[in-house]
Structure 1
Amino acid sequence: MSTAESAHLAWFKSSYSGAEGGECLEAAATPGTTHIRDSKAPTRAQLAFASARWAAFVRFVAQG
């Protein structure tokens, strides 16, 4: 997905990130895919994961 196309996604970040931005990741979901980008550089490269893979990663991280 190009940066221009991703500009139309509904990006969100954790409420723990605060309003200043800083060291945050932003995520956006499309059918079957989770997109991740750096909040400090939203026009730079981003990552895309199959939604099931992203959910497995989040579960793994949450387990500590």
Structure 2
Amino acid sequence: MNDAPTITTLFRKSSYSGGDHSECVEVAHTSDNGRAVRDSKDTARGTTYFAPGAWQAFITYLNRSEAP
């Protein structure tokens, strides 16, 4: 039995990526309210899944002033 979440939206590239040929990540929503993330320049390489709590912690960290 496979309990992995399913991708429920199209992958979307950040508006900060700077155009069609920029290297960036793409993000999609999953059935468990988490996120699926993949490399936009090599989409066949695979997808990394973030559980909802892990994704929120990641976003919170990025929004901190001392984040790189």
TM-score relative to the length of structure 2: 0.71
Aligned equivalent of 1:25: 25
How far apart are the structure 2 equivalents of 1:9 and 1:42? 15
- Give the number of equivalent residue pairs: 59
Question: Unaligned regions of 5+ residues in structure 1, if any?
Answer: none
Aligned equivalent of 2:59: 58
TM-score relative to the length of structure 1: 0.75
Name the % identity: 36
* Runs of 4+ residues over 6 Å off in structure 1: none
Q: Return the index of the structure with the highest Cα Rg.
A: 2
Question: Unaligned regions of 5+ residues in structure 2, if any?
Answer: 1-5
Aligned equivalent of 2:12: 12
* 1:57 partner SS: helix
